[in-house]
Structure 1
Amino acid sequence: MPALPAAVIFDMDGLLFDSESLSRDALMAAGRELGYSFTLDDFLQLVGRPWATNRVTLQEHFGPSGDLEAFSACWTRHHHAARVSLALKAGVVELLDRLDELRLPRAICTSSSHEDVRHNLGLHGLSTRFDAVVAAGDYAQGKPAPDPFLRAAEVLGVAPADCLALEDSHNGVRAAAAAGMRTVMVPDLLPATAEIRLLCHLVATDLHEVRALLS
């Protein structure tokens, strides 16, 4: 990286925590319980998108007779039951330690709720490691619109062009790039496509590689 960023903005699900796999398994479990069939591709369509968008996708999947609210409650119940075993992704603590050494501010920028962020950070003792959290309800349009990342930069008081954005999803990469940020993808369930690679400064194997980038 030619110059250090002035701030680092993290996605949460699939980047900091291995939560996308939990969400996938909870979706499949809810589908089995309520009689709906899902494939992995069905789930991947939902990754990195706000709930308002996913509501429409799910209702189309169910058809007009499908009970979206009942499914959402069931999915949430399975997800909450599983998240006590939520794992931290490789390199998170080491990268945060490096940002402390560099005195770089950092924020979380997510489509998840503030409650989910508090739970996940608290579970791993990371509640004090971020300067700001931008979550669902804090912006007009969700990813792939740039609004979440622009809001995070505004909260940190840093120009978007001076921010490094870390993402695992395609829509997250699109949002960060549209915000004018230097973007690094750390793939989780979704591989980097040719389109996505063009939007990224780097596609990294894990957050250890991102830490090395800041050395």
Structure 2
Amino acid sequence: MDGLMLDSERAITRCLSKAANEQGHAIEPAFWLRMVGKGDAACRAMLAERIGDDAGQVLLDRCHVLYDEVVEAGVPLRPGILALLDLLVARRIPRAVATSTRRPLALRKLAAADLLRRFDTVCTSSDVVHPKPAPDIYLLAAERLRVAPAQCLVLEDSPTGVRAALAAGMTPIQVPDLLAPDEEVRAMGHRIVNSLSDAQKLLELRLEAGA
């Protein structure tokens, strides 16, 4: 969802940076980028190690207030997402959201972006014990869609999500947003494209070949 369908990673990192600045913490931008794709617990742990448990929680609480204001105003869509979803709907391909965001916020964001109605199910970090990069959330999505994991295509922006998809035995296509793939990420051997439009072209070729 974040960084793949919604242009929210930039908003989140801006809110984190603003909260840190308000509270007098000098934290470099690269630190926030390392949080991309990680769940709440992992982000809390990173902040606790950097500035301490209490200060980290205060910073996150302030960030949530700032980000709620962004969500209420509406998070912009990533280029190409509507055309891709239109194709999937037209071909009657089952669709699920698998996000590290907690359920209440995820549903609010999807509804505000008018994306909620386009999916058969929404799986969030509230629904699983182990967040990405564990495969749990993708396996849950496959179960709810009644599709075998090996038959699932995953679109992801973050390396953490790609690792979760591979661990679930699925086929990931990565569409990087804020994090450019490094050598370690590329070594995982999955397909990496520049945009959702490029991902759609690959999917159309596969559908045509299987027609």
Matched, 1:152 2:141: yes
Q: What residue is the counterpart of 2:13 in the other structure?
A: 24
Among candidates 23, 32, 57, match of residue 69 of structure 1: 57
Listed as ranges, the gaps of 5+ residues in structure 2 are 205-211
Kindly provide the CA deviation profile for residues 168-190 of structure 1, in whole angstroms up to 9, marking residues without a partner as x: 00111111011111110000011
Listed as ranges, the gaps of 5+ residues in structure 1 are 1-11
Kindly provide the CA deviation profile for residues 188-215 of structure 1, in whole angstroms up to 9, marking residues without a partner as x: 0111223322435421111111111122
Tell me which amino acid in the other structure corresponds to 2:200. Answer: R
Q: What residue is the counterpart of 1:53 in the other structure?
A: 42
Is the deviation greater in 187-196 or in 126-135?
187-196
The 1:200/1:101 distance shift into structure 2, 3 A limit, reads farther
**RMSD of equivalent CA atoms:** 1.4
Greater length-normalized contact order (CA 8 Å, ≥ 6 residues apart): 1
**1:145-184 superposed matches below 5 A:** 145-184=134-173
- Conservation of the 8 A alpha-carbon contact between 2:16 and 2:60: no
- Conservation of the 8 A alpha-carbon contact between 1:183 and 1:199: no
**What secondary structure, in the 3-state scheme, does the structure 2 residue paired with 1:190 have?**
coil
Among candidates 124, 130, 135, match of residue 113 of structure 2: 124
Identity of aligned residues (%): 38
Partner Cα separation in structure 2 for residue 60 and residue 201 of structure 1 = 32
- Conservation of the 8 A alpha-carbon contact between 1:16 and 1:92: yes
Higher helix share: 2
Among candidates 195, 200, 204, match of residue 206 of structure 1: 195
Normalised TM-score (structure 2): 0.91
Among candidates 87, 90, 95, match of residue 98 of structure 1: 87
Kindly provide the CA deviation profile for residues 53-101 of structure 1, in whole angstroms up to 9, marking residues without a partner as x: 211111111036x423322210101111223141100111100010012
Matched, 1:108 2:97: yes
**What secondary structure, in the 3-state scheme, does the structure 2 residue paired with 1:166 have?**
strand
Partner Cα separation in structure 2 for residue 181 and residue 199 of structure 1 = 13
Matched, 1:134 2:141: no
- Conservation of the 8 A alpha-carbon contact between 1:173 and 1:200: no
**What secondary structure, in the 3-state scheme, does the structure 1 residue paired with 2:127 have?**
coil
Tell me which amino acid in the other structure corresponds to 2:122. Answer: V
- Conservation of the 8 A alpha-carbon contact between 2:107 and 2:116: yes
**1:84-95 superposed matches below 5 A:** 84-95=73-84
Partner Cα separation in structure 1 for residue 130 and residue 159 of structure 2 = 16
Q: What residue is the counterpart of 1:15 in the other structure?
A: 4
Partner Cα separation in structure 2 for residue 178 and residue 199 of structure 1 = 11
The 1:154/1:110 distance shift into structure 2, 3 A limit, reads same
Partner Cα separation in structure 2 for residue 57 and residue 156 of structure 1 = 34
Q: What residue is the counterpart of 2:30 in the other structure?
A: 41
**What secondary structure, in the 3-state scheme, does the structure 1 residue paired with 2:126 have?**
coil
